[in-house]
Chains A and B, each alone.
Chain A
Amino acid sequence: MTVANIEVSETPLMLYALRRADDALILGHRLSEWCGHAPAMEEDMALANMGLDLLGQARELYTYAAKVEGRGNDEDKFAYLRDVRQYRNLLLVEQPNGDFARTMVRQFFYAAFADLYWRAMMASSDPTFAAIAAKSEKESAYHVRHSSEWVVRLGDGTEESHRRAQTAIDDLWAYTGEMFAVDDGERGLIDAGIAIDPATLKARWLKTVTGIVNEATLALPKSDWMQQGGRVGSHSEHLGHLLSELQSLQRTFPGATW
């Protein structure tokens, strides 16, 4: 029995799956924190729905990462027995829920990307990715619709909701650049037709985001400084707290089956 963190062999393909799995798990976890506390019951349902979609995506991606890695790790070992420095998710998805505006803006920024991303990944030469993409694309399309409708309602709602939505955009904007970044390992997968180049999605993402933000009578920040680091394990302070909660039982009762 051991409480130690697992060792992970981060080959490019494995790491690629792991990063997307971490994105989905951490964002899904954040959404699940709302359960029972949302502004309306309909929203409790919707946030749980999106959280469940993301958890499902995470599980498929972890399972694939484990298969590619071939070292006997599995979805739960990846989720529960890695420390902050071993997590590979985007900084955006680990940002705390804050108020409902922040949760929805975070969801919108991510989903507007994920929708384009998974649609493009349906053409991956890797059949597992293509299959996960086909399912995830449908889910992401709903996430974009739901979150963008809220961004518009909040931006063009009351003075207070406008202020909150604008603050959320201003605070989260610097975390959006990381979605389009590529490292050398990923470049190889792109060249092989396994992954797609996210830079090719940027213009369309920006068009969607600008369109909704304008409709919401909100504005995007002028600053183009972007935070990076999640993909290599340099996270914000928030992730450690999330993980200490997420992993508490596995860490307290090492080796038990649940």
Chain B
Amino acid sequence: MYTQALNSSDGDDRGVEDVARASQFQARIDADERIEPNDWMPAAYRKTLTRQISQHAHSEIVGMLPEGNWITRAPSLRRKAALLAKVQDECGHGLYLYAAAETLGTSREELVDAMLSGKAKYSSIFNYPTLTWADIGTIGWLVDGAAIMNQIPLCRCSYGPYARAMIRVCKEESFHQRQGFEIMVTLCRGTAEQKAMAQNALDRWWWPVLMMFGPPDQVSQHSDTSTKWKIKRFSNDELRQKFIDATVPQAEFLGLTIPDPGMKQNENGNWVHSPIDWDEFKQVLAGNGPCNRDRLAARRKAHEEGAWVREAAAAYAEKRKSRQLAQAAE
């Protein structure tokens, strides 16, 4: 999902430093207690959450770019205002999540630097381009829809600040999702060109959206401990299935065709998708998606071109402080 890189292991770092405390900690988790910033926690729990929350934050910030690409071209003033407000919400989510990550002891600057250097990951989905206005509808409908599937269980995550952040984020995301679907409804009821635009967007986004849930369960690395710690409550495949089952009737309602001719409903009523091209997923995670370079370049450019502004603000704050001290001394 927004934290896919968690699925790639960086070796076993799960050494437990204090057996007694660790078992107390696990007992609290098992009793569904929330862990708060000042509570003792295993180093690996802290590390996992720092990575997960910061990757989620990076995804929100990088995720501003594909949709931001259409703010200046939104086709009506109502759409323009809604899209600007939506992208602003994503920035707010990013800020909120960085703050939640900071409660685990790593500064926002360090986290952002790790993203800018390419070390930290963000969701693969934002490395795809937004080519038409229908992409804005599709992102709201499917990308936000997928994000909600993943994030609703995170509202019950064992780490308090993350769980609370998710409650607020989910409220806004579900609003975005409805907005996106409404764009799709309008396009599908519009001209033949608009309907074709909607179908084309679905064709391009469908498979990358399914990849958002991460690798299939049998190859996913981190799920066991994350499940034990109640960070993750459903597996990648379970969430992906829920998403597909919820989306199929929506596509039908729109009169759009999901680009998977082999998809079939099984006896339980679940829609079974054809094999996902995991090579594409790996390539995108490795930096070879259509927009990886553009996205990072845009974030770096904003960061570098903003440096003199941030320096000015810091210099001014410093001057003001020394003036106030000098005044107080008089």
What is A's interface to B at a CB cutoff of 8 Å? 25, 29, 32-33, 35-45, 48-49, 51-52, 55-56, 58-59, 62, 75-76, 79-80, 99-100, 152-154, 156-158, 160-161, 164, 245-246, 248-250, 253, 255-258
- Secondary structure at the A interface, as helix, strand, loop or mixed, is helix
- Check B88 against A258 for contact (C-beta < 8 Å): no
Known A154-B312, A258-B76: A41·B194 in contact at CB below 8 Å: no
Q: How far is the CA of A171 from the CA of B11 in the complex (A)?
A: 57
B80: contacting residue among A32, A41, A45, A257, CB under 8 A? A32
Range for the number of chain B residues in contact with chain A: 35 or more
Q: Tell me how far the C-beta of A153 lies from the nearest C-beta in chain B, rounded to whole angstroms.
A: 4
* Chain B proximity of A160: nearest CB distance (Å): 5
Q: Among A41, A52, A256, A257, point to the contact of B81 (Cβ < 8 A).
A: A52
> B191, A253: Cβ atoms under 8 Å?
yes
Indicate if the CB atoms of B301 and A161 lie closer than 8 Å.
no
Query: Cβ of B43: which chain A residues have Cβ within 8 Å of it?
Result: none
Give how many A-B residue pairs fall within 8 Å (CB-CB). Answer: 137
Closest to A250 in B: B75
Contacts of A48 in B (CB 8 A): 84-85, 87-88, 91
- Is B73 located at the chain interface by the 8 A CB criterion? yes
Using known A-B contacts A33-B72, A49-B88, determine if residue A258 contacts B191 with beta carbons closer than 8 Å: no
**Contact pattern, B 50-79, Cβ under 8 Å of A = 1, otherwise 0:** 000000000001001100100111111111
Question: A246 touching B72 by the CB < 8 A rule?
Answer: yes
B80 and A157 contact, CB distance less than 8 A: no
Q: Which residues of B contact A29 (CB under 8 A)?
A: 72
Out of A37, A41, A152, A257, name the residue touching B186 (CB < 8 Å): A257
Is there contact, CB below 8 Å, between B61 and A41? yes
Contact of A154 with B309 at beta-carbon distance under 8 Å, contacts A75-B77, A79-B77 already known: yes
Complex partner residue of B133 from A154, A249, A255, CB under 8 angstroms = A249
Residues in chain B near residue A99, CB distance under 8 A: 305
Establish whether residues B298 and A245, one from each chain, have CB atoms under 8 Å apart when the complex forms. Answer: no
- Asked if A44 contacts B88 (CB within 8 A), the reply is yes
Q: Is the CB of A161 within 8 A of B311?
A: yes
